[in-house]
Structure 1
Amino acid sequence: MEQVLELKDLTLAETSRFPVWVFDIDTAHIVWANEAAVDIWYAESFAELAARDMGAEMSTSIKARLRQYRSDLERGEIINELWTIYPRGIPCPLMCRFRGIRLYDGRIAMLCEAEVLDQDASELVRASQALLYTSAIVSTYGVDGRCRFMNPAARRTYDPSHTTLADRLCEPVLQTRLLRMSPDVSEGRFTGIVQTRQGLRTHEIESRVTQDSDDGATVLVVTEIDVTEKEAAKAETAYLAYHDALTGLGNRLYFSQSVTERLEGRGAADGPLFLCFLDLDRFKYINDTLGHAAGDELLVQVAERLRAHLPASGILSRLGGDEFAILIDGAADITAFTAISDEIIRLFQDRYRVSGRELSVNASMGISSYPADASTFDDLLRTADMALHAAKEDAGGGVVVYDPALAERTGRFLELDTDLRNALDAGQLDLHYQPRIDLATNRIVGTEALLRWRTAGGDVALPDEFIPIAEATGLIDQIGIFVLAEAFDRSQELAALGLRIAVSVNIAPRQFRDPNLLAELTRLAALPGFDPGLFELEITETMLISDNVQLKNTLARISRLGFPLVIDDFGTAYSNMAALKRYPIDGIKIDRSLIGTDDFETLASGVLTIGKLLGVKIIAEGVETAQQRDWLAENGCHEFQGFLASPALPFPDLVAMLQHASGANDSAAPVETVTQRSS
């Protein structure tokens, strides 16, 4: 490495025919120049040249490059480059050699030794400038792997102490491939990890073997482009294509390809494979009550538990929503596999802590096996899905192994789904109305709208038979819109007849997430002559367990519009006074399951106490005996409905019943029931 020169070393340069000058990088001034240099700068004298501020018209990139050179010059390096200077605005191409020189105050300046090029060298100058200004990293290496040249981009990229390929390339294989190149194998392209000033980066590297134009030595010209961000984006895209963004588990595509690969070439001697299709029970209610953020938090925790207990040869995936799939390899038969599946289900016995509260979460699982039940991935998943549906139909929380009989049940499910959609389009869905009786006056004061399906065969299907299908397929949204519109029209007809009784409608939890519900209720409340106080909305108790801000705001706005809110099926969940007081509730309905038990008085007493403390209307459902009715009346219940008074009636029959009770010619008379209190 050359020594840094001193100003006293310039004695011989004073009379040189080649331009030589000293440039102070810090001040951007020429502090020494021989006569030849004064001439090429078109200066009248050295004093006039020294007075020029060379930085005034210097570009930012040139300034940055000169600062970069200073560190190289301080180490005694020599830099050979083609430059073009513009004295008096006239271009002058030069072949320059830069080296460090120490000023009298100890700072390092740049000694410039130049040779003026002919104008015919313009193409060479342009090529040199392109090399200087390009963002591509260009360097040359000798056969010993030591760096011989770096363009400015390379100097910005690599630490000056990293002078060999081995210093820069982090992959020994790549080093070997580059250094073994010869004129017979003169070009190559690679992508590799390199060590830079910014740390490890990914570079796309092109190399070519050639001869150095200076001394004719064989050199390796290496051109590099930083593709770190590009490669990271490609890796991220590839990862997301095969993984679930929420849990980090493989997605459906990953699971499909992984299972298919496992099936290919598998023989009978390799043993069976078991596919477990797992679904969380009542996950929709967690989303509805705690919000989707809490639902996502739960899914992440479930994924972590499943991953931690996955057998070494297993494959785990989240297929979407709350559905997970597991492939188990290595169990000799279904009996051996049962122990594994039981362990998976036991993972849900411990509670989950979500959004600051503990949750009991169950899961249902369907199991299919290869080759007994299916021979392809699609068929394995389909048969496991059938088994899963059977597990959920059996109240959830269990495991069902696929049986061919399930295929017939699934076919029936799909048939019912199609029939139900056709029934909605054909107007076969209808509302029946069950009267609600005031226990103090024995008058009909309200009615609940209950959905019925008049099948093509003339039978009437009850909601328990088809609502689960509608919820599973998403058809419940359209049905909910139909029920709301139909009940409103009937309530208006009752009002027009002078029969002022409340009509109550059940609203599904998912409807409260639909902004159209609030918009529609706002529209209805503004209609002339409509009394929203006679149009009650029934909601499920499970919706109110959590402190859901969005739900609270929606219910508050509905309440301000004047629509009464009644909790349906009260007593089946675990809500408490504190939870209920957060919501604008006008009434509660004692669930029919409490009324029909042998100890209904004990169970109903608790609900009545809560209702009294809340100061809301209390309604009992499913009342079938006079003894039940009388006990409810004596213990503070306000209203009841059930077969004791009347089953659900078609609307014309309800109107006839109301008109008969009130008197055909006296619409203002009280509406009496046909039942009487026992003495």
Structure 2
Amino acid sequence: MRRNQLPDARNRRDDDRKPGCEETARPFKIADGKVDHDLIATIYDRQDTGLWIFDIDYKRVLWANRKALEITDSETLEELQSRDMGADMSHSVEQRLRQYQTDFGQNEDASFKEIWTLYPKGKARVLQLVMSGIRLLDGRMALLCEGRDHQEQEPDTLRSVEALMHTTVMISLFSRDGKALYRNTASRGARVSKETNFEEQFVNPVEARELLRQVEDERTSRRVANILTKDGARWHELTIRACNDAVTGQPAYLVSEIDVTELHETKERAQYLASHDTLTGLSNRTYLKERLSQVMQNALEKDLTATLYLVDLDDFKMVNDSMGHAAGDALLQLVATKLMKLVGPDDIVARLGGDEFLICHLEKPNNHYADWFGRALLTAFERHQIIEGKPRHVGLSIGYAHYPDDGANIDQLMRHADLALYQAKTSPKKKCVRFRESMRRLRDEHLALKKELERAIRGKQFVLHYQPITCTRSDRVVSAEALIRWEHPEKGLIGPNEFIPIAEETGLINDIGDWVCRDVARMQTRLKKQGLSIPLSLNVSPRQLSDALFVSRMQVLPLETAIDTSMISLELTESVLLGDIPDAFETLSTLKKIGYQIVIDDFGTGYSNLAYLHNYPIDGIKIDRMFMEDIASGGAIVKLILSLANALGAEVVAEGVETVEQRMWLNRNDCNRYQGFLYSRPVPEDRLVSMLQTQMEIAAM
């Protein structure tokens, strides 16, 4: 090919256009032979301006005039065409060329004038370039370059131009109306469009206007803002200075930007982690006081009532111990999600730690009963929740305090709500409690009682009394229930209602329950030796049943005491059947295989149904004492329970029988066992032995 011929891209094969291939283009036909090609080539070569066509896609020169060969230090066009210009091309230069290619594709009349430094054979040559687009005959857009030596060769000027090209800092110049006058490579590469004005760059245009107002006042402004880029919304640190456009002399804004997205997100993440619970996403205790102070202040200003609710999950430790920590975490997340759905838009929901949550609820005064919101929370959790595919009752205890009636500051409100929560947790019925001054004394008593219980366990201060279970026809004692008493060294005999709730709450029930099992076993052995053997029953709490060691202890018990396990009944509440105890069926089945009898205590209070009972290995049912009052009005409910028990083949004991009429009614309706004050209150061991001996003597007469 002759040096002064322009390439005809239309006649090149695809293979010829690949990097590394020889350029084999045919002469470009300017006027179908009507103009002398040599004359045109001579005109090009006489130009004092270097002209060349650069293939942006393949980074090779397609054609150049003589001045361009001089500029590039090339002996021939063929030598220049053979050079791989992409071999040492920087990313910034390539990015800039791609931007030009895009611009020319959108507007073929566009052109750009810039100062570039070329490095032919390693020597720097500074040029004033005019670049425009030229479409090749294969349809691709190439770059037509016109280059002259740049007259101003000041090193600082040249270096600043080079720095603007290669820096990752985004530099832009905007007119006062927001139009972009200049963008360096980095800035142009970040934009959605080169036509995007200053305000359109911001996710929130208000920030743009605020920045410019500050520049007007102070001549400079700085901010981290959310900016729209071709990669989506990013966080940029912007510095804006008032200046003048060097071309027109008109006022302008010089903007430099640094992408700080990773730093900003890391900072936000750190702030989030510091102020939020990672498991539930709720606010945590650290962030709470600041937020609560603001909410309380808003409540005062808007004449709203603010109420602090402390919400605690009942038996959460039981879930963790029996189902594992993953199930416990799932439960906490479920509760957090449900609480967030129940509160208002201005309310606060936080996790304080463990299974304790806080809600700060705002409302207009005197619109509802004082505890309506707390009762609404309880109602929302009445139905069973599904935890790891299993239905589970999630009980709540709630203590609350009103601001400012129950506390003038956050610390005081928290303490008072906590006292109310303590009472709610120890109450068997009232689970949503408001703070009262009397609670301070009650809390102190409970704490003291806990310490005394710990000493009682160590000092073996407990004793068992036994309440006889009697035949409705013969009034003969057929079994007995073991009931614990605390022989307090100062207060005397204390009934279980006064200390079992504390034992349940603190976990001391496991140690106490273990002692009861062993003492009942020893009692059964003693009765057997005296020829007075009758079945004995003992109460097992849900917390005991959830203890991973309970079954193994009950397996070892007959080996240690030589008891007949078929003569021991384990009395359980209905909550065990209703999903409160995970794996309850497996646990009860194992106990049944060991030989223990399984009895449901206080039947009828937990809303059990035939389906539940039918699925469990149940030997007996004890009708709750509340249904004895039903007998006076015909006893329809008791008859229904008796029919249900008969269908299951379960033995029935009626509790709380206090009158002869009740016993006679039970006898007529085929309820063969009863327990109550009509025959006997719970009595010490020696008194029960005396009863059985007398009964045996009478039978022998």
**Fold agreement, TM-score > 0.5:** yes
Instruction: Give the fraction of aligned pairs with identical amino acids, expressed as a percent.
Output: 29
Distance 2:148 2:554 in 1: 88
User: Structure 1: which amino acid aligns with 2:187?
Assistant: A
* Number of the residue aligned with 1:311: none
How many angstroms does 1:110 deviate by? 2.3
Bigger Rg over Cα: 2
User: Structure 2: which amino acid aligns with 1:71?
Assistant: T
1:570–1:191: structure 2 CA closer, same or farther, 3 Å change rule? same
Q: Deviations over 1:223-265 (max 9, x none)?
A: 2234456656766776787778999987767775566568789
Correspondent of 2:54 among 23, 33, 37: 23
* Number of the residue aligned with 1:203: 236
How many angstroms does 1:464 deviate by? 1.0
User: Match of 1:78, SS?
Assistant: strand
User: Match of 1:605, SS?
Assistant: helix
1:607–1:133: structure 2 CA closer, same or farther, 3 Å change rule? farther
1:660-675 → structure 2 map (5 Å cutoff) = none
1:605–1:43: structure 2 CA closer, same or farther, 3 Å change rule? farther
Distance 1:136 1:452 in 2: 80
* Number of the residue aligned with 2:256: 223
* Number of the residue aligned with 1:591: 624
User: Match of 1:307, SS?
Assistant: coil
Distance 1:94 1:563 in 2: 99
1:442–1:83: structure 2 CA closer, same or farther, 3 Å change rule? farther
1:51–1:455: structure 2 CA closer, same or farther, 3 Å change rule? same
In the alignment, is the contact (CA less than 8 A) between 2:397 and 2:424 conserved in 1?
no
Distance 1:422 1:576 in 2: 42
Q: Deviations over 1:57-115 (max 9, x none)?
A: 8788876664444213433252746567686xx58676674442222334211234567
User: Structure 2: which amino acid aligns with 1:376?
Assistant: N
Specify every segment of 5 or more residues in structure 2 that has no aligned partner in the other structure, as ranges. Answer: 1-8, 10-27, 31-39
* Number of the residue aligned with 1:138: 171
- The answer on 1:657 being equivalent to 2:689 is yes
Distance 2:155 2:523 in 1: 95
User: Structure 2: which amino acid aligns with 1:50?
Assistant: Q
User: Match of 2:497, SS?
Assistant: helix
User: Match of 2:142, SS?
Assistant: strand
- The answer on 1:46 being equivalent to 2:80 is no
Q: Deviations over 1:244-299 (max 9, x none)?
A: 899998776777556656878999xx9998664557899669x9799976887677
1:106–1:403: structure 2 CA closer, same or farther, 3 Å change rule? closer
* Number of the residue aligned with 1:171: 205
Moved more, 240-249 or 31-40: 240-249
Distance 1:71 1:369 in 2: 64
1:340–1:190: structure 2 CA closer, same or farther, 3 Å change rule? same
In the alignment, is the contact (CA less than 8 A) between 1:272 and 1:369 conserved in 2?
no
How many angstroms does 1:540 deviate by? 1.8
How many angstroms does 1:48 deviate by? 4.6
In the alignment, is the contact (CA less than 8 A) between 1:272 and 1:329 conserved in 2?
no
User: Structure 2: which amino acid aligns with 1:657?
Assistant: V
Distance 2:282 2:221 in 1: 38
How many angstroms does 1:411 deviate by? 3.8
Specify every segment of 5 or more residues in structure 1 that has no aligned partner in the other structure, as ranges. Answer: 1-5, 309-313, 332-336, 663-671
Distance 1:142 1:559 in 2: 87
1:19–1:451: structure 2 CA closer, same or farther, 3 Å change rule? farther
- The answer on 1:412 being equivalent to 2:445 is yes
Q: Deviations over 1:121-148 (max 9, x none)?
A: 9998887777556554332335564333
* Number of the residue aligned with 1:334: none
- The answer on 1:483 being equivalent to 2:520 is no
1:297–1:46: structure 2 CA closer, same or farther, 3 Å change rule? same
Q: Deviations over 1:579-625 (max 9, x none)?
A: 33344434333223334765495443322222222233444444567
Distance 1:560 1:38 in 2: 100
* Number of the residue aligned with 1:452: 485
In the alignment, is the contact (CA less than 8 A) between 2:659 and 2:678 conserved in 1?
yes
* Number of the residue aligned with 1:567: 600
User: Match of 1:484, SS?
Assistant: helix
* Number of the residue aligned with 1:509: 542
Q: What TM-score comes out, normalization by structure 1 length?
A: 0.70
1:450–1:233: structure 2 CA closer, same or farther, 3 Å change rule? farther
User: Match of 2:182, SS?
Assistant: strand
How many angstroms does 1:165 deviate by? 1.9
Distance 2:611 2:471 in 1: 28
Moved more, 157-166 or 9-18: 9-18
* Number of the residue aligned with 1:611: 645
Q: What TM-score comes out, normalization by structure 2 length?
A: 0.68
In the alignment, is the contact (CA less than 8 A) between 1:546 and 1:579 conserved in 2?
no
* Number of the residue aligned with 1:307: 344
User: Structure 1: which amino acid aligns with 2:64?
Assistant: A
User: Match of 2:239, SS?
Assistant: strand
Distance 1:64 1:525 in 2: 84
Distance 2:625 2:372 in 1: 37
User: Structure 1: which amino acid aligns with 2:172?
Assistant: S
Moved more, 451-460 or 353-362: 353-362
Correspondent of 1:162 among 171, 195, 218: 195
Distance 1:364 1:414 in 2: 19
